């Protein structure tokens, strides 16, 4: 299990190995944000609220995170980002591990491996989470200039200050893979329209929570939005894969 790997940062006192160094939430964010650019203190507190993480507390009530806590966070955030798993599924798995069990698969039959070659490519390409220029984007996905221009023209990707963020990079990687099979950006407008409709659906559900000013409500709204998005993607995948499976018969 990834998060169980023991590689704690240790303090040394008088030549002797002492206890692992505990981090505060700001230091945890500094360690994680290179790999998970969207993580926030509110997100970490929300995971604690949901029972996925239980950091120790100082006598004054401040949270302190040991290396195992940081590893556990990486595991949770990685599954959310790379496999789109809802928190309940991840929590069930972690609870089983905490009970001393060694499940080979996540609940629901999900594996820990990347979902596809394209997904692995995407992870590699955007691991730095750094906005890139149009030329860099073309080089990242190995596409032609025309493909990038078409993606911009059809509203599939947009630039901010002449830079493309990690989401645009993922779209470009996937679009380049589809282009290799003759599926051009003009064929992908239905995906854009469907995505916009799904976003509208999600926004209508979380709007009451998002309207509140407190951090906890907005964190819950963000997590609810992710869970609805995950369910939409799972539904889409099941519908498409089910239809494709029929081609074999």
The CATH code of the domain that includes 73 is: 1.10.1660.10
Residues 93 and 119 in one domain: no
What parts of the chain have a pLDDT lower than 50?
1-19, 108, 112-122, 124-128
Q: Comparing C-alpha atoms, which of 72, 115, 74, 114 is closest to residue 94?
A: 72
Radius of gyration of the chain from its Cα atoms, rounded to whole angstroms: 21
Q: Return d(Cα 54, Cα 45) in angstroms, integer.
A: 10
Residues 74 and 121 in one domain: no
Residues 74 and 122 in one domain: no
Q: Comparing C-alpha atoms, which of 32, 6, 11 is closest to residue 21?
A: 11
Q: Comparing C-alpha atoms, which of 106, 21, 94 is closest to residue 54?
A: 94
Residues 84 and 47 in one domain: yes
Q: Return d(Cα 93, Cα 109) in angstroms, integer.
A: 11
Placement of tokens 């994680």 in the chain: 32
Does residue 13 lie in a domain region? yes
Residues 61 and 11 in one domain: yes
Per-residue pLDDT at 10: 41
Per-residue pLDDT at 14: 46
Axis crossing angle, helix 145-153 with helix 166-179, rounded to the nearest 10: 120
Q: Domain tally for the chain?
A: 3
Q: Which domain holds residue 45?
A: 2-98
Per-residue pLDDT at 5: 39
pTM of the entire structure? 0.49
Residues 66 and 14 in one domain: yes
Per-residue pLDDT at 141: 75
Per-residue pLDDT at 245: 77
Residues 40 and 123 in one domain: no
Mind listing the pLDDT tens digit for each residue in 159-204?
988 999 888 888 888 888 888 888 888 888 888 888 888 888 888 9
How is residue 2 annotated by DSSP? Answer: G
Per-residue pLDDT at 115: 40
Pairing of strands 56-57, 63-64: antiparallel
Per-residue pLDDT at 8: 38
**C-alpha 248, offset from chain centre:** 33
Last residue in a domain, options 183, 208, 237: 183
Q: Comparing C-alpha atoms, which of 222, 245, 230, 219 is closest to residue 79?
A: 230
Does residue 133 lie in a domain region? yes
């Amino acid at each position: 299990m990834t998060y169980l790997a023991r590689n704690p940062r240790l303090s040394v006192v008088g030549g002797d190995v002492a206890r692992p160094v505990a981090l505060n939430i700001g230091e945890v964010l500094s360690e994680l944000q290179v790999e998970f650019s969207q993580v926030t203190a509110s997100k970490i507190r929300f995971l604690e609220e949901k029972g996925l993480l239980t950091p120790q507390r100082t006598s004054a009530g401040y949270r302190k995170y040991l290396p195992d806590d940081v590893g556990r966070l990486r595991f949770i955030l990685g599954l959310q980002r790379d496999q789109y798993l809802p928190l309940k599924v991840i929590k069930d798995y972690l609870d089983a591990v905490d009970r001393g069990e060694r499940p080979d698969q996540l609940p629901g039959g999900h594996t820990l491996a990347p979902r596809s070659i394209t997904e692995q490519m995407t992870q590699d390409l955007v691991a730095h989470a750094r906005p890139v220029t149009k030329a860099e984007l073309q080089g990242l996905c190995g596409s032609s200039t025309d493909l990038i221009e078409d993606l911009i023209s059809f509203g599939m990707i947009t630039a901010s200050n002449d830079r493309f963020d990690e989401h645009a990079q993922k779209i470009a990687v996937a679009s380049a893979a589809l282009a290799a099979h003759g599926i051009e950006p003009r064929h992908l407008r239905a995906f854009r329209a469907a995505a916009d409709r799904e976003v509208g659906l999600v926004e209508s559900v979380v709007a009451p929570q998002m309207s509140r000013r407190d951090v906890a409500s907005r964190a819950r709204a963000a997590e609810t939005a992710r869970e609805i998005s995950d369910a939409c993607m799972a539904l889409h995948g099941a519908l498409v894969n089910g239809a494709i499976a029929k081609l074999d018969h």
